[in-house]
Amino acid sequence: MPDHDPSAADASEIARSARRKVAWHILPLLFLLYIIAYLDRANVGFAKLKMQSDLQFSETVFGVGIALFFIGYIFLEIPGALLVECWSARKWFARILVTWGFCSMAMALVKTENQFYVARFMLGLAEAGFFPGVIVYFSHWFPRKDRARAMSAMLIGVPMSLALGARVSGVLLEQTWFDLKGWQWVFIVEGAPAVLLGIAVPFLLPDRPRNAKWLTPDERDWLNETLETERRVAAAVVPVTLKQVFGMWNVWVLALALLTTNIGGYVFVFWLATVVKGLLSSTGGAADDTAVLLWTGLVYLCGVVGVVVSGWSSDRTGDRKGHCMLGQLGAALFLTISMVPGQPWALVFAWLCVTGFFANFWFSPFWVLPTMTLTASAAAVAIGTINMCGNVAGAIGSPIVGVIKDECTRFNLKEESFAALHTEKVPDTTVLRLRPLKDVEFRSQKDFVREISKVLGQEETEKFQTVILKHSDFSFGDRVSMGFVAVTFIIGSVLVSMVRLPRTKNDPKSQGSGVRTDGTGIGFHPEGV
């Protein structure tokens, strides 16, 4: 009968207890912060539904403003991570939360294009360093084998924040408290939690295990020793230079694949609500902003399912490359089908939901590919390079889509529009006077409204402008811009197909990666998603 080693059993119990406590004390708060962070960068896409008509901003203006966030973000991304390592995570996170919360709330004060540009750029600067800082912070708390699980939990927060944000924004857009517009309340209400949590974080989030009162002395000792051992092992690895990394085929292919796919992915995040509004109008559906954001939120909710399913499936089969390509091609295919004219809204919405599923299906397996195909030291440098390309993509796609929509959008009134105007209780005489404009196309909303003013007069136009615009058909620009998104996904899948996988006799579920992904399919999760 084998001897029982009570000390080994005790050590194992201490390890389990420490890991469990760290997960429960650290992850929920950081998950909440990430949801707020992603919502505060993306809620401009929800507010745009009313903000655009109130401020008379073109689509190009919105595209440039969205891009400026990423320019500011990239500028301070790396310094922020260094401050977490060398200074204090909780103090740095508190600074970030308070400043980005105020910057987000300041969006409610925007009146001109330049103010919009400055506000978006400052929001990017304020939020920069948060997610890279989280990655560094996790290295202070989670042993390597637990880090993938922790990062995967954060990953699910992306589509979840968009789904929740769309629903909340739909309610806020209808409010006019204290004579402020609904879009102003979107920024104020959704920016305020960041400020409040920024004040609370220094009291809720310890910097390192030695500061955690909820760990016992034995648990702190085990955690510190484990993390220190891992740091010594990492330090012993021969470093790889940037020159060597840039000479590797897979680094370039993966960087370009993420760049192209994220160009479309970020457009899908920021412009989906606008596209849904255009498609609802063109199919005769109710295109009020509350309904638009309800439908939009459901599409994003399908993305949560996509993240979970892709991680589970790619772990079960060990196939990362195929799952990544399936997600990219699936998103391109079903997005293209959803843009085909003449379909009822129920069918269009079904295609969009499947698109939302696949648009979030690809990136879990994608981030295992660098760890599978590169050495540990090379992967560390390469992942930072690849991730930077993912964030650069955010500054490219939206300006292009803004120009596409401005150049390709056509405003007109179709037969269905007049039927819808009757249901909105627009007087029959007004509808009759608008009849001469049936099927006449206008290149911009400004030209369209100007022509309506000639027909109805200024006073009547101001009275019914919102409802007329709501039921006009302006979906052609949306269809072209989503076609552009589909192309970026296809190019990304082609580039992923060019990744060279290692030949290995190891367990097929890891494909030689040495990465345990715990059912999420991800070994490391940078922010370029």
- Identify the residue with better confidence: 136 or 49: 49
Find tokens 């006073």 and name the residue.
Answer: 459
**Distance of alpha carbon 133 from alpha carbon 135, whole angstroms:** 5
pLDDT over 90 (residue 173): yes
**Distance of alpha carbon 88 from alpha carbon 221, whole angstroms:** 21
* Residue 376 pLDDT level (bands cut at 50, 70, 90): low
**Distance of alpha carbon 75 from alpha carbon 96, whole angstroms:** 14
* Residue 453 pLDDT level (bands cut at 50, 70, 90): confident
| Mean pLDDT computed over 86-110 | 91
pLDDT over 80 (residue 264): yes
| Mean pLDDT computed over 151-167 | 89
- Identify the residue with better confidence: 236 or 145: 145
**Distance of alpha carbon 295 from alpha carbon 49, whole angstroms:** 14
How many Cβ atoms sit within 10 Å of the Cβ of residue 518?
17
- Closest of 119, 51, 135 to residue 85, by C-alpha: 135
8 Å CB contact between 265 and 393: yes
8 Å CB contact between 166 and 300: yes
Residues with Cβ within 8 Å of residue 213, at least 6 apart in sequence: 206
**pLDDT, the chain, mean:** 85
- Identify the residue with better confidence: 146 or 80: 146
pTM: 0.84
- Identify the residue with better confidence: 454 or 510: 454
Q: What is the DSSP string of 80-130?
A: HHHHHHHS-HHHHHHHHHHHHHHHHHHGGG--SHHHHHHHHHHHHHHHTTH
Q: Find residue 130's DSSP bridge partners.
A: none
Share of residues in the chain with pLDDT > 90 (%): 51
pLDDT at 448: 77
- Closest of 207, 237, 238 to residue 224, by C-alpha: 207
pLDDT at 9: 67
pLDDT at 69: 95
pLDDT at 515: 39
pLDDT at 504: 54
pLDDT over 70 (residue 94): yes
**Distance of alpha carbon 342 from alpha carbon 282, whole angstroms:** 9
| Mean pLDDT computed over 185-195 | 97
pLDDT over 60 (residue 429): yes
pLDDT at 302: 97
- Closest of 179, 193, 63, 74 to residue 127, by C-alpha: 74
pLDDT at 110: 97
pLDDT over 80 (residue 440): no
8 Å CB contact between 125 and 73: yes
**Distance of alpha carbon 395 from alpha carbon 67, whole angstroms:** 4
- Identify the residue with better confidence: 524 or 214: 214
8 Å CB contact between 16 and 139: no
- Between the two ends of the chain, the Cα-to-Cα distance in Å is 54
- The per-residue pLDDT for range 349-375, each reduced to its tens digit, is 999 999 999 999 998 889 888 877 777
Angle at 502 between CA 499 and CA 507, to 5 degrees: 125
Q: How many CA atoms lie within 13 A of 88 on its CB side?
A: 10
- Identify the residue with better confidence: 9 or 122: 122
Residues with Cβ within 8 Å of residue 159, at least 6 apart in sequence: 300, 301, 302, 303, 304, 306, 307, 356, 360
pLDDT over 50 (residue 312): yes
* Residue 42 pLDDT level (bands cut at 50, 70, 90): very high
Share of residues in the chain with pLDDT > 70 (%): 86
**Distance of alpha carbon 203 from alpha carbon 191, whole angstroms:** 20
| Mean pLDDT computed over 8-31 | 88
How many Cβ atoms sit within 10 Å of the Cβ of residue 459?
8
